[in-house]
Amino acid sequence: MKILIATAYDYPHAGGLSTHVTTLKAGLESRGHEVDILSFSNVSPVLRKVYAQGPSFLLNKVKKGKGIVWSHNVRKKMLQALIEKNKHKQYDIINAQDPFTALAAFETGIPTVATVHGYMTFESISKGSMDEGSAEAEYMKEVERKVYKGARAIITVDQRLKEYVKKESGVEATAIRNFIDIHGFKPDKDKKVEYRKKYNVSTQDKVLFVPRRLTKKNGVIYPALAMPRILEKHPNTHLIYAGSGEAMGEIKKIVEENKLEKNVTLLGAIPHGQIKEYYALTDIVLVPSVHSAGVEEATSISALEAMGSGSPLVACAVGGLKEIVNHEVDGLLVEEKNVEELADAVIEYLDNPLKGEEFAARARTKIEQEYSHIAAAEKYESIYKKALSK
């Protein structure tokens, strides 16, 4: 098949959707398919700024939410134009990665499958981009419903999203949990010292790693809040964040108030290839997701990558994380927003490094058996074929 994976967001970018697209492409190509990726990044930078980003900023000054609705609709028109321009490539199917891209794909007449990565409307509310119950929020929700009903097939990345699609539209989706490139993300701990020297990380420190976008639903403030308690027991602990987002300022404030400047590093967004090296130099990975405005973590790619890379994992017991992690078998689950539990879980690993190694080994085995990108690509292929037969 000739497959077009499309998104109205930037690609590549620091985030799970971009990682999903890259990994799905690799899996499908390994099965002999031709795969192209089309995104908002393919639009001229001038057009993006003049027509999407600039007016969006101004409209949000008029009323919260107006700007994001404007931006999404402009992105939809731009994606539609790009798809039309590339029609000569004769794609068999489009796999849209967000609702507005799906609307764009519908207009081109090319058979479309939509993948649902999250709760678009609720996530906008959680970020503070629009108000709950507003006309803008209802408009976004209606777009979601239209896509669920209009696509040839709907794929969700976890069971809760499947139930959400059913509740909102009556459509029966197929849940395919997120996945990783099991060859790209593999245990590489023998290079721990090498990578620490490369990134100027002390070989004597115990390193905690948070590979997350710095946004509210990812609970990124809680590792910083847990650090004072952790440092009481293990004063040579260093917390590293890799990600950017609106919670950056709040984390910096926590660091300053608790005088943690020497023990916390905020890298900002870094290339995905570097993320792999940070997993290798890390002692413990933290995925502290929380519920926020009706949004909860799906099958976290960050958690899967950590488990695939041989890193002991501490995660909050919300959403898909409860499906991924078997508590006290291949990782530790803690109550969301519970700073003491989070700190105690980290201390438990630091006090018992062999326990962490055992959990990490079991986690790697689980990833190989259940979260391979090759197996996931086969499932996607099956859905594409069924969609084309409709």
Structure tokens at 202: 């002390």
Task: Kindly state the percentage of the chain with pLDDT values over 70.
Answer: 98
The yes-or-no verdict on residue 13 having pLDDT over 80 is no
Residue with tokens 């709760």: 119
Query: For residue 137, which of 320, 296, 294 has the smallest C-alpha distance?
Result: 294
Nearest one of 179, 173, 210, 140 to 16, comparing CA atoms? 179
Query: How high does pLDDT run on average in the chain?
Result: 94
Task: Quick: pLDDT tens for 143-189.
Answer: 999 999 999 999 999 888 999 999 999 999 999 988 999 988 899 98
For residue 35 the two structure tokens come to 């795969």
Residue 338: which region, alpha, beta or left (left: phi > 0; alpha: psi -120 to 50)?
beta
| pLDDT band at residue 53 under the 50/70/90 scheme | confident
CATH class of the domain at 189-370: alpha beta
Span(s) in the chain for CATH 3.40.50.2000? 2-179+372-388, 189-370
Compute the average pLDDT of residues 226-248.
97
What does the alpha-carbon distance between residue 281 and residue 371 come to, in Å, rounded to a whole number? 23
Here the tokens at position 314 are 């501490």
Checking 381-386 for CB contacts under 8 A at 24+ apart, the result is 381/1, 381/28, 381/31, 381/33, 383/113, 383/153, 383/155, 383/174, 384/1, 384/3, 384/92, 384/93, 384/95, 384/113, 384/153, 386/153
The confidence score (pLDDT) of residue 293 equals 65
pTM for this entry: 0.77
Alpha helices in 118-247 (DSSP H): 120-127, 135-150, 159-169, 192-198, 221-233
Query: Which CATH class, in words, describes the domain spanning 2-179+372-388?
Result: alpha beta
pLDDT, one tens digit per residue, over 324-342 is 999 999 999 999 999 999 9
Is residue 269 within 8 A of residue 242, CB to CB? The reply is yes
| CA–CA dist 241, 309 (Å, integer) | 17
Q: Are 151 and 102 in contact (CB under 8 A)?
A: yes
* CA 370/CA 310 separation, integer angstroms: 15
pLDDT digits (tens, 9 = 90+) for 20-51: 999 999 999 999 999 999 999 999 999 888 88
Cα 125 to Cα 307: distance, rounded to the nearest angstrom: 31
| Helices within 53-151 (DSSP H only) | 54-62, 66-85, 99-108, 120-127, 135-150
Q: How confident is the model at residue 132 (pLDDT cuts 50, 70, 90)?
A: very high
Nearest residue to 286 (alpha-carbon basis) of 210, 217, 212: 210
Tokens of 323: 């499906």
φ and ψ of 47, to 5 deg = -65, -40
Q: How confident is the model at residue 294 (pLDDT cuts 50, 70, 90)?
A: low
Neighbours of 19 (CB within 10 A): 23
Using the predicted structure, report yes or no on whether residue 381 has a pLDDT greater than 80: yes
Contact predicate 195/280, CB 8 Å: yes
Among 287, 295, 285, 127, CA closest to 215: 127
Element (H, E) at 209: strand 206-210
Q: How confident is the model at residue 298 (pLDDT cuts 50, 70, 90)?
A: low
Q: What confidence category does residue 14 fall into, taking pLDDT thresholds of 50, 70 and 90? A: low
> What is the mean pLDDT of the segment spanning 52-64?
84
pLDDT digit string, tens, across residues 187-211: 998 999 999 999 999 999 999 999 9
Q: Rounded CA gap, 297 and 314, in Å?
A: 14
Express the helix, strand and coil content of the chain in percent, nearest 5 each. Answer: 55, 15, 30
Alpha-carbon Rg for the chain, nearest whole angstrom, is 21
Closest CA to 9 of 70, 76, 59, 67: 76
Report the alpha-carbon angle 170-172-174, nearest 5: 150
